[in-house]
């Protein structure tokens, strides 16, 4: 289990584990099983800093998570890119992202992704 999920609530850990186990049965161990587990996780959780938190609404967080079998490609890395700009601003505020007040929604997603990567690296 990835370290970001180990630092997350038990419900997030269970969601990822169940999806991963099911994907391993279907696809075998490896990258595809991990992508599928993360896609399932992103329906109920979003990445904030070095861990995952439950979202206020369920649903895929980005176009990749919306696919039944996610392929390699660009993702929002756990940021709920489909959330409102206000929600993204609040997450950016919690992560102390500089310049957040003048950012567009897309810029907020990118800045949160960067802040999440930094927080995760620091936690390792």
Length of the chain: 124
Alpha helices in the chain (DSSP H): 3-6, 10-27, 31-41, 85-94, 105-123
Taking the C-alpha atoms of residue 74 and residue 98, their distance in angstroms, rounded to an integer, is 24
Confidence band of 91 (pLDDT split at 50, 70, 90): very high
Kindly give, in sequence order, each residue whose CB lies less than 8 Å from that of residue 49, ignoring residues fewer than 6 positions away.
94, 95, 115, 116, 119, 120
Mean pLDDT of the chain: 92
pTM, to two decimals: 0.85
Q: What's the number of CA atoms in the CB half-sphere (13 Å) around residue 124?
A: 8
Instruction: Return the structure tokens found at 36.
Output: 């599928």
* pLDDT tens readout for residues 26-64: 999 999 999 899 989 999 999 999 999 999 989 888 777
């Amino acid at each position: 289990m990835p370290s970001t999920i180990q630092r997350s609530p038990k419900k997030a850990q269970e969601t990822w584990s169940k999806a991963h186990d099911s994907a391993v049965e279907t696809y075998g161990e490896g990258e595809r099983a991990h992508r599928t587990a993360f896609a399932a996780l992103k329906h109920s959780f979003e990445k904030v800093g070095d861990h995952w938190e439950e979202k206020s609404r369920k649903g895929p967080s980005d176009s990749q998570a919306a696919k039944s079998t996610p392929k390699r490609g660009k993702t929002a890395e756990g940021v709920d890119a489909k959330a409102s700009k206000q929600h993204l601003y609040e997450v950016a505020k919690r992560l102390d992202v500089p310049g957040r007040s003048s950012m567009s929604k897309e810029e907020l997603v990118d800045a949160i992704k960067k802040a999440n990567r930094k927080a995760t690296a620091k936690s390792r």
